């Protein structure tokens, strides 16, 4: 197989992805490719990835538990710190129980894998994250998608289904920043054998989750929580069923116990609310200034603020020009987003300063001219 031809094709279509090398800790100010930049494309929304108290908790965890977990949860890898963290996460989300996974990607696949023999259909929002779409593939069911956030479209698809099934939505949409109407969706699902699953990767720690009774909630711990991993929360029976039936849970090494110690500290900081307030103020300020400058951002109240520019080439040009001015904003191109909707995806963090936001938006205005 000629891989070099395939790579050239990607390059010709401005779809080749590259990795910039970060030489400092994650944060709003970073050193990347030997350049000092202000970072506007991190999922470290609450600026916790380099928080001194969380680092200290991690180090204490390493001293107590060592570096690796050594095995999967069902063998000898399930430590007391995993157990305590699961209890803390279930309490935080108001659910009976929670189960840790090593990433959001595996957590999503984990839920689908467990439900493989239980459901006959899956319906997803058209803009759901790739890991959820891959979940439908793992289960071997056709991907049925309803129009983005459109309850009528969901309802008309629901009417055509028979037997037990799953309706899946991102809570905060990863490339658009808008939010699903969880309570509206839940009202549409009137059949008892329909389960709702929500992926709150980008809302957890920032917005209070709404988790309808007997639904499935997944959130990640590597974004606002600043560490890594993910969890699924729900009722006791469902979590026990996941432990028994989820292949991505069973056949993988547990995350290091020290990470659980770090996440527990992160949870305490999240509960304190100070970082969240700073982030929410930054979001409001960003929206005010971008409106004043006449920049046409999508309507989003989350930390994700997209500016759709259409072509992949234009998105790359703007991203490169911002990088040269000292701002890192990623160009998001197909297949991550639909064709002709390439965009600049700005993400805000608690530690951004208002003068950094102002300067960034002025540079964006110039780059768009």
Ligand X SMILES: Cc1ncc(COP(=O)(O)O)c(C=O)c1O
Name the minimum Å distance from CB 1 to ligand X: 28
Closest CB to ligand X among residues 201, 315: 201
Q: CB of 151 within 8 A of CB of 185?
A: yes
Distance CA 69, CA 76 (A): 8
Nearest to 366 by CA among 321, 314, 307: 321
Name the minimum Å distance from CB 236 to ligand X: 24
Name the β-bridge partners of 107: none
Name the minimum Å distance from CB 173 to ligand X: 7
Name the minimum Å distance from CB 169 to ligand X: 10
143: phi then psi, degrees, rounded to nearest 5: -85, 115
Closest CB to ligand X among residues 165, 229: 229
CA 57, 63, 68, 74 torsion-angle sign: negative
Name the minimum Å distance from CB 265 to ligand X: 19
Binding site for ligand X (CB under 6 A): 103-105, 108, 129, 131, 170, 174, 199, 201-202, 220, 222, 230
Name the minimum Å distance from CB 108 to ligand X: 6
Closest CB to ligand X among residues 131, 305: 131
The full DSSP string for 135-187 is HHHHHT---EEEPTT-HHHHHHHHHT--SSEEEEEESB-TTT--B--HHHHHH
Nearby residues of 210 by Cβ (< 8 Å), 6 or more positions away: 182, 183
Name the minimum Å distance from CB 181 to ligand X: 17
Distance CA 268, CA 275 (A): 11
Name the minimum Å distance from CB 329 to ligand X: 16
Closest CB to ligand X among residues 61, 222: 222
Report the residue number whose CB is nearest to ligand X.
104
Which whole-number Å values give the CA distances from 307 to 206, 294, 300, 357, in the listed order? 22, 12, 11, 15
Closest CB to ligand X among residues 166, 361: 166
Quickly list H helices, 197-352: 236-245, 247-250, 257-272, 274-292, 312-324
Q: How many CA atoms lie within 13 A of 225 on its CB side?
A: 28
Closest CB to ligand X among residues 161, 179: 179
CA 109, 111, 114, 115 torsion-angle sign: negative
Distance CA 341, CA 107 (A): 28
H or E element at residue 98: strand 97-101
Closest CB to ligand X among residues 196, 367: 196
Name the minimum Å distance from CB 114 to ligand X: 17
Closest CB to ligand X among residues 48, 201: 201
Q: CB of 328 within 8 A of CB of 39?
A: yes
Nearby residues of 149 by Cβ (< 8 Å), 6 or more positions away: 125, 178, 180, 181
Closest CB to ligand X among residues 311, 336: 336
Name the minimum Å distance from CB 133 to ligand X: 11
Closest CB to ligand X among residues 230, 361: 230
């Amino acid at each position: 197989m000629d891989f070099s031809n395939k790579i050239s094709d990607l390059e010709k279509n401005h779809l080749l992805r590259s990795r910039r090398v970060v030489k400092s800790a994650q944060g709003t100010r970073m050193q990347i490719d030997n350049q000092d930049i202000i970072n506007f494309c991190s999922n470290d929304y609450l600026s916790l990835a380099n928080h001194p108290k969380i680092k200290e908790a991690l180090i204490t965890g390493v001293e107590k538990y060592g570096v690796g977990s050594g095995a999967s949860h069902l063998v000898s890898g399930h430590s007391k710190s995993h157990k305590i963290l699961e209890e803390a996460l279930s309490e935080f989300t108001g659910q009976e129980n929670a189960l840790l996974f090593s990433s959001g990607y595996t957590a999503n696949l984990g839920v689908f894998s467990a439900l493989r023999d239980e459901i006959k259909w899956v319906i997803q929002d058209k803009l759901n994250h790739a890991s959820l779409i891959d979940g439908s593939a793992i289960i071997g069911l056709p991907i049925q998608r309803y129009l983005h956030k459109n309850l009528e479209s969901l309802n008309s698809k629901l009417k055509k289904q028979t037997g037990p099934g799953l309706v899946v939505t991102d809570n905060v949409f990863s490339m658009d920043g808008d939010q699903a109407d969880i309570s509206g969706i839940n009202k549409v699902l009137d059949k008892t054998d329909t389960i709702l699953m929500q992926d709150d990767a980008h809302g957890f720690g920032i917005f209070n989750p709404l988790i309808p009774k007997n639904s499935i909630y997944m959130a990640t711990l590597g974004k606002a929580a600043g560490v890594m991993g993910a969890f699924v929360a729900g009722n006791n029976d469902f979590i026990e069923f996941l432990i028994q039936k989820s292949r991505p849970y069973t056949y993988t090494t547990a995350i290091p116990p020290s990470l659980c110690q770090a996440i527990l500290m992160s949870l305490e900081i999240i509960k304190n609310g100070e970082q969240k307030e700073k982030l929410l103020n930054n979001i409001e300020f960003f929206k005010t200034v971008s409106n004043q400058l006449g920049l046409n951002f999508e309507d989003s109240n989350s930390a994700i603020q997209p500016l759709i520019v259409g072509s992949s080439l234009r998105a790359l040009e703007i991203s490169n020009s911002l990088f040269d001015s000292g701002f890192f904003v990623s160009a998001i191109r197909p297949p991550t987003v639909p064709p002709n909707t390439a965009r600049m995806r700005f993400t805000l963090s608690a530690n951004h300063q208002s003068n950094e936001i102002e300067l960034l938006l002025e540079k964006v205005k110039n780059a768009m001219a």
